Chain A
Amino acid sequence: MSRRVQSRWHRPVLAAVLGGTLAAACGAPGSGEPQPQATGSALTAAPTCGTAPVTLKAYFETGFPVPKSLTTEFTKQFPNVTWDIREDQFAVITQNAPRVLADDPPDLMRLPQVSELVKNNLLKNLDEYAKLFGWDQWPPSQLEQMRLAPGGAVRGEGSLYAMGLNFSMTGVFYNKKLAEQIGMAAAPATLAELDDALAKAKEAGVTPIAQFNGGATGGLAFPLQDLMAAYGPPGPVNDWIFQKPGSSIDTPANLQATQHLERWIKAGYFWKDVNAVDYATMMSRFIEGDGLFMFNGDWESGNLDKQMAGNAGFFLMPPVRQDGARAAMSAPLTFGISARAANADCAAAFLNWVATNAEARKIGVEVGGSHPMGPADAPMPAIAPGTVTESTLAAGAQIAKDNGAMDFIANATGAIYAKSWTPNLQKLVAGEQTPEGLLKSVQSDYVSQVGGN
């Protein structure tokens, strides 16, 4: 083949092929995606799964047995319903959620932060179901975090776009043996008492706080938010998380909280290698008895009841003053229905069943360790006395009474945890960031993330 002959025509051909490739890429990306749904009401009565065979397509999180236990029980009660379940790790779900909801719509899906999904019209508006099933009669705080104003701009108000299978509660777990060793007779009732216990533990050679802060998940956000709740009311923190216009995390109360956390760091209350400790390492060290306190959530209650039977306790973060209200991070285990789901009615019936059926509520507590959703007077399953699960459920009631539920500061935007809280908290540990600088830096990242993509 002669080179001379080729060169006469191969350039135009190459150009044509390249041009074609580029032409395929032309047009602004992202056109032709889901449009807002019509909100016309079609249902007259609460939907059911009927009697004809139906297969629900579900997308769950790996490593959390609750949804699967519930679907199995549901099929037992309603044999015409079968499940086609796909599972992935939460990080994978977070990254894939928009594409999966748009291209391969599941009937029921474990959801990450929902703002961006609602913005893109990917989730079904559940208002109609809420009315027909009476979800709007439940304590409003249960559903607040899953409500979004039109366009997904502000969370905490507006239409319902997701449902919880249960709602979790965070606070302070403690090792009862170590508590006895340092002479802590009862759970601290004020922040000063907690500080006192921490100091005593340090003196006794016990690590005061078992916490993780490595990789892309800064676990010091747990004690930090608890301190925020001790120093100030939860309202402004929630406003910030829900992206209410004009809200700021950089408030005097939050500065006091961050300074308090810095004092704990400087006093050596955390492990020296806390910046290299991941969640799993923290759990195994705490269970082995390395650490008096651990700031974590009730999703570990069942696990701790098994692995530290009788030796683990739980209390809510104590307020600054003894008569102060208690607040805690509390969030539903969110599931949603795709805007393009084939069996949305049946999926909604399942969500209602999870909150109202006695057997389902029992599974939610026993397998999940968290408080079930549903009306305030719904029957609670019996819990063995003296267990961690018992104390976390009681804490849930206390938070409801004090109206102290907060969403997690890490959920304010999709990227605020990995890209802002975590690096800043890691710098705080290393002494490379000040409390003032931390709050300013997070606030400026927040403004740029909320303001424009």
Chain B
Amino acid sequence: MTRPTTDTTAAAATARSPFRRKGLRGPSWVGWLFVLPAFAFYAVFVLQPLALTVQYSLYRWDGIGASTWAGTQNYLKVFTDPDLFASIVNAFKLIVFFSAIPVVLGLAIASTIRRIAASRLALVARTVIFLPQVIPLVAAGITWSWLLSSNGLINQLMSYVGLDGVIRAWLGDFSTALPAVGVIGAWVLLGLCTLLLLAGMSKIDPALYEAARLDGAGSFREFFSITLPSLRQEIGVCVTVTVIAALASFDIVYIATQGGPGNSTMVPGLEIYYLAFSERQVGLASALAVILTVLVIACALPIQWLTRDRTS
């Protein structure tokens, strides 16, 4: 570290510190002073809203007028109201699409790209697959709602190959709306997973593969014995990020279906928004938000624990 000759704030803070003159224990205070600006922002923009949400969840409040104490009633309602509970179930169903598909497919694509790493095709493939991650979610939602509409490209292609019996308004049909929303999410998150896994693969020592090949391992054996175990941490990150994206999903659903038809694609994020801003039940919305936060943490922590690098 260089001497902070130009940092007058730090110098002044150091001079003011009573501990500084006395001896060695002082610098800990100075360290906290450095943290203070960032912590102040964290407290005002993260901790306080969190505390307020917990507080609101204990009241009945329309957002403006006087509120009344509700205790745990709002929490009970989340679990007993079939519509609210169904939204939580939908979020878990979305994990299949937002998490399982991108991770499994991402692994397959990343190992394919790794094999052709030297060719120009690899660069093209990487770019194409990562592109959805760059596009704003709203734009992705709009594009896909056109693709999936009753006379959209997907139905045109199906009709072209003779699948006229299957075509429908994918986002407007009770049985297909949630999977259709899931497909949009999978498309968006596939790029992120592929790129993360690819980066992880590039760290694996090529000597391991060489040794395996000398021992007569095929590409499947290589994948399951070397690639997969080495990617434990990357897979952990992918699963964590995508599970959170599934549970806390909002943008894609809001743009593509707004929760319809008939609540079949309602997710907690959207429900919180409707409850707070159109039904003006700020207490109930806050309770659902708190439950969602707890659920996300409850899902993310075990994943972190399971995929932790045991060797370190």
Residues of A that sit less than 8 Å from B by CB = 1-2, 5-6, 9-10, 13, 17-18, 21-22, 24-26, 28-31, 33, 94-95, 98-99, 102, 116, 119-120, 122, 213-216, 271-277, 414-415, 418-419, 422-424, 426-427, 429-430, 432-433, 449, 452-453
Q: In the complex, what's the smallest C-beta–C-beta distance from A453 to chain B, in angstroms?
A: 5
Question: Which chain A residue has the least Cβ–Cβ distance from B36?
Answer: A17
Bound Cα distance A25, B65 (Å): 16
B259 CB contacts on chain A under 8 angstroms: 216
For residue A102, which residue of chain B has the nearest CB? B64
List the A side residues contacting B309 at CB < 8 Å: none
Q: Which of B23-31, B212-220, B229-237 contacts A (4 or more CB under 8 A)?
A: B23-31
B279–A28 CB distance below 8 A:
no
Known: A449-B279, A453-B62. 12 other contacts (CB 8 A): A18-B51, A22-B51, A25-B55, A30-B67, A116-B62, A213-B261, A214-B171, A273-B169, A276-B150, A277-B169, A277-B172, A423-B261
Q: How far is the CA of A271 from the CA of B168 in the complex (A)?
A: 11
Once bound together, how far apart are the Cα atoms of A213 and B260, in whole Å? 10
Are B47's CB and A21's CB within 8 A?
yes
A272-B150, A415-B278, A453-B281 given as contacts; is B260 within 8 A of A28 (CB)?
no
At the interface, yes or no: B94 with Cβ under 8 Å from chain A?
Answer: no
Which residue of chain A is the closest to B155 with respect to CB atoms?
Answer: A273
Structural contact, A98 and B260, CB atoms closer than 8 A: no
Q: A2 — which chain B residues lie within 8 A by C-beta? A: 28
Q: In whole angstroms, how far apart are the Cα atoms of A449 and B278 in the complex?
A: 12
A276 x B262 contact (CB < 8 A): no
Q: Does B79 contact A (CB under 8 A)?
A: no
Chain A: interface secondary structure? helix
Complex Cα distance, B36 from A13, in Å, reads: 12
- B52: A residues at CB distance < 8 A: 25, 29
4 shortest interchain CB distances as A-B pairs? A276-B172, A273-B169, A276-B169, A273-B150
Chain A CB within 8 A of B75 CB: no
**A400 to B33 Cα, complex, angstroms:** 72
Q: Knowing A116-B280, A276-B172, A423-B261 are in contact, say whether A21-B64 is a contact too (CB < 8 A).
A: no
| A452 near B27: Cβ-Cβ < 8 Å | no
Cβ B67 vs Cβ A28 within 8 A: yes
Enumerate chain A residues within 8 angstroms of B63, measured Cβ to Cβ.
Answer: 30, 98-99
Instruction: Output the residue of A18, A26, A215, A415 with the most chain B CB within 10 A.
Output: A215
Asked if A29 meets B263 with Cβ closer than 8 Å, knowing A1-B27, A414-B279, A419-B279, the reply is no
Contact between B60 and A426, CB atoms less than 8 A apart: no
- Given that A21-B51, A215-B260, A276-B149 are known contacts, is A94 also in contact with B171, CB under 8 Å in the complex? no
In angstroms, Cα B39 to Cα A18, docked, is 11
Chain B residue numbers with a CB within 8 Å of A427 are 174, 261-262
Q: Which B residue's beta carbon lies closest to that of A7? A: B28
Chain B residues with CB under 8 A of A1: 27-28, 31
Given A276-B149, A276-B150, A453-B280, A216-B258 contact (CB < 8 Å): yes
B69 at the interface (CB under 8 A from A): yes
Q: Are B67 and A25 in contact (CB under 8 A)?
A: no
Which B residues between 113 and 169 are near A, CB-CB below 8 angstroms? 149-150, 168-169
Whether the pair A95, B51 counts as a contact (CB closer than 8 A) is no
Whether A30 contacts B149 in the complex (CB less than 8 A), given A25-B52, A427-B262, comes out as: no
Assess the B261–A214 pair: CB atoms within 8 A: yes
Verify B279–A275 contact, CB threshold 8 A.
no
* Chain B residues with CB under 8 A of A432: 174, 262
Partner of B172, one of A22, A25, A31, A273: A273
Q: Is the CB of A273 within 8 A of B278?
A: no
The CA-CA distance from A427 to B263 in the complex, in Å, is 9
Contact of A424 among B51, B262, B279 (CB under 8 A): B262
Which single member of A24, A94, A273, A422 contacts B168 (CB below 8 Å)?
A273
B59 near A: Cβ within 8 Å? yes
Question: Is B108 at the interface (CB under 8 A from chain A)?
Answer: no
A10 proximity list for chain B (CB < 8 A): 32
The answer to whether B261 and A453 have CB atoms under 8 Å apart is: no
**Bound Cα distance A24, B52 (Å):** 9
Report yes or no: A30 in contact with B278, Cβ–Cβ below 8 A: no
Q: List 22 A-B contacts (CB under 8 A).
A: A5-B28, A18-B43, A29-B56, A29-B282, A30-B61, A31-B66, A98-B63, A98-B64, A116-B62, A116-B64, A119-B65, A273-B172, A274-B172, A275-B173, A276-B169, A414-B279, A422-B260, A423-B263, A426-B262, A430-B262, A449-B279, A453-B281
Q: Given A21-B47, A216-B258, A273-B150, are A95 and B64 also a contact pair (CB < 8 Å)?
A: no
Cα distance A40–B69 in the bound complex, in angstroms: 34
At the interface, yes or no: B85 with Cβ under 8 Å from chain A? no
For the complex, what is the distance from the CA of A98 to the CA of B66, rounded to whole Å? 13
Question: Complex: how many Å from CA A275 to CA B274?
Answer: 20
- In the complex, B277 has a CB within 8 A of chain A: yes
CB pair B261–A275 under 8 Å, yes or no, is yes
